[in-house]
Amino acid sequence: MKKICVFPGTFDPITLGHVDIIQRALPLFDQIIVAVGKNAVKSPMFSAEQRQLWIEEIFSGNEKVQAAVFDGLTVNFCREVGARYILRGIRYVSDFEYEKAIADANRTLDPGLETFFLTCEPKYTSVASTIVRDIIRNGGDASLFLPSIVSESLKK
């Protein structure tokens, strides 16, 4: 059976920290679907389609990674794509507490789902999309936190 994993998030924008988590998870799964969630509570800076395009461009040379946009519950999206695994990145202890609560809820909704947590590389601990958006909004250079494809796209 193919080991399909969903890495859900807003990826607004995708950062070097996200890319690091995906790259380090590649040996664990046959396929990773980076799932751009449409969150009614959040007002994203970039369209879901733009975020999906960035992910597709970043991983264009890797057939194990694909990008998708989804709306609704992650567990429902996992069922749609046949995924039995969810990937989440952890930067701080407080992230773990929040992510564990979500993982427990997901497992209650679908007992066959397993969530994998990967801690980020120490150099990416402070990299958060929220901070990156603030830098961009205020005219700063966010390129140190972003894949080159995203940085170049923002310059246009």
How far apart CA 75 and CA 73 sit, in angstroms, is 5
91 is catalytic: yes
How far apart CA 101 and CA 94 sit, in angstroms, is 11
133 is catalytic: no
129 is catalytic: yes
**Which residues touch 95 (CB under 8 Å, ≥6 apart)?**
89
**Catalytic residue (choose from 24, 64, 84, 91):** 91
Show the CA angle centred on residue 46, arms to residues 30 and 145, nearest 5°.
70
**Catalytic residue (choose from 3, 38, 42, 123):** 42
- Annotated catalytic sites, by residue? 18, 42, 91, 129
